[in-house]
Structures are given as structure tokens and as C-alpha cells.
Amino acid sequence: MDLAFSPADEAFRAEVREWLHAHVPRAPLPSLETEEGFAAHRAWEAELAADRWSVVNWPSRYGGRDSGLLRWLLFEEEYWAADAPGRVGQNGIQLLAPTLLDHGTEEQRARILPPMACGEVIWAQAWSEPEAGSDLASLRARAVRTDGGWLLTGQKTWSSRAAFADRAFGLFRSDPDAARPHQGLTYLMFSLRAPGVTVRPIARLDGKPAFAELFLDEVFVPDEDVIGEPGRGWRIAMATAGNERGLMLRSPGRFLASARRLEELWRRLGRPASARDRVADALIGARAYQLFTYAAASRLLDGEEAGPESSLNKVFWSELDLALHETALDLLGPEGEMADTDWAERYVFALAGPLYAGTNEIQRDIIAERLLGLPKGRR
């Protein structure tokens, strides 16, 4: 793997840095887990999209720059280094969009991607159910055939962004008599404002509604909002999950920036020896994740798929994020416990990392069975 960037790549990086320097808000936006902050972050998505920076690796006809995976990584490094706002549209941009690009129809891509790119439509993820979290194949929410579409009934929970989002995507059981749990599932998109949808926000530790429960009572979804072939949604969902666990959801730029902020904090507080090794571990971990991601990107550019290696990514970044923020709060002491500090909010988010996108226990099972070839464990 050649880690030297071409002059054109370096020029791209410089253009990103210049644009961010001119446009990143001088004062942090309100938390995107509030109604006010959600609206402010939606406006930020529109500002990014106006100059085609919201989805740089997408095809230009959908609002991107055809920049490719490598330049997306460069963009992410500059974005987080500039301390730019969190991306309220990430569920759609980084999870649903790759799924549509690989498995959707051209009509779906043309209809859904441009409004997603500019923040006009924000998407929530509707995977988990009360008795089907990491064990996605045990989900019970059903899709029943009707004239021109499907009727969705059931409950989804821990739906990130759903408190204020516009639409959601998820998997539904369309054939309850299928021979195996992961068969007879259909991948659908639906409006969170459609008749029959009830959204009940779930408060996080700090009281902000970062998640929501969705109650669906015969919600009509037209055929045009089915992704792929009805009854064969599992394979497509696994592609989405691979994006979630892999490099698309959590780019290394995010952790490099956080590790550098942690180092700055440590230096500002007089370089306490008690935290020196933990700060060094964070810097090394962020750099290691960056190199691992570039290796993964190289494999993808060579035509390989993300595969079960995505589980390695997920375990690594989620534990790195948590350790990094725990170190920051320990350095800050009582000040770090204040709910409104930037470090505290990011710590609350990091707490969920080992749980969402499939718990780390599940990921370790995948690593053991599919990468190391060990026998299945007892569950």
C-alpha cells in the first residue's frame, strides 16, 4: 500500500481545508439531539451541499463530486480537524445511500439521494426491536401485501435521529412462514409522518432525545419504496450493516481529531503524569485505526467487499472512542461531569458505541467464527 498522496489529492485536501476555514461556524451549533440543534444542523447540511461538500464521494448527478473513497477519507480528516459540526444526516448519507447505490433502482436513487444530500430529508435507522436488537433475524415487525404496496405493523426501538427525522429505513418480516429466520424479510423505506406512525422519543442520559421508539399501525408503503426483491432483504441489510460497522460510519478523521484535542487538553492541564500513557494510547490508537482504514479502503478499491473485517473496525473504534473520552473526563475532574461540556456530551455518545451497530459481543463472535475459524460459541 502506497501512503504517498498525489499532487491532485493534496490539492483536493487544500481546497477542503480552505472551504472549511471560511465556512465552519465560529461558535458550536446547539446539540443536534435537540429540536433547535437539529434544525441548525440541517441548515449546515444545506450549506455543505451548496458547494457539493456534503457527499464528496457520491456521483455528481446526485450532488457529489465523484471524488472516490480515498478523497472521502481526506475530506473527513480535514472536516473533523476543523472541528466542524456533527453530521445530522449520517444515517442516510453513510448507511442508506450506499445501499441504494448498490441495490436500489435508478428511480429510487434519483428521487431519494439529492434531498438527502442537502438535508431536506433526514433519515432515521429503524433496525432494532424490543426483542430483536443485535439478533436482527428475530425481528417481528411485519409487512403485509396490499394493493400497490405494503402495510407495516409493529414496533421499532432505539431508532437514532427518529425524534426529529423525516423518514426511516428498516427490515420487516413479509413471510412469517419462511423456513429460516433470516428468510422472508423485506427492506423498506417509510415516512415518519405517514398515517399510522407514532414516534415516542427516548431520552439519553443527559435528557436529550437521541433515539425514539416507532409504533407502526398498518402504515402504507408503496412498492416504489421497497429496496431489492421482496422477501430477500437480509442480504441487502447485511451490506448496510457492513457499512455501519466499517469505515463509512466512523471515519478515522473523527478519532484523530479527538485524540489531538485530548493531547491539547493534557498539555493545557500541565501534562499530568498519571494520564500520560492513556493519552499516548489514544494517539497511537487513532493513528493505528487510520492506517487500518486506509488498508481496508485499498481492498475495497481493488474490488473486494468489506466482509467480516468490518467487525474488527467496529470493536476497535467503539472501544477507542470510549477510552479516549473517559481519559478526558478524568483529566477534567468535576468540570468534566457538567452535562453541558463538549467532552461530556461526546462521552455520553461514546457510551453507546459498544452497543449500537451490533453489540461488541456479537462482533467478537463474528471475528471468532468467520475470521479465526473457531467453532460457534454457546448463546
**Catalytic center residues:** 244
CB 119 within 8 A of CB 45: yes
Sequence-distant (≥ 6) Cβ neighbours of residue 221 within 8 angstroms: 143, 149, 150, 151, 152, 188, 189, 190, 194
Collapse the DSSP code of 353 into the 3-class scheme (helix H, G, I; strand E, B; otherwise coil) and give the result.
Answer: coil
CA angle 111–114–115, rounded 5-degree value: 85
- In terms of Cα–Cα distance, which of 126, 134, 147 is closest to 215? 126
30, 179, 229, 337 from 50: Cα distances, Å: 22, 49, 34, 38
Q: How far is CA 293 from CA 80, 248, 312, 377, in A?
A: 16, 10, 11, 29
Please report which helix (H) or strand (E) contains residue 10, including its range: helix 7-23
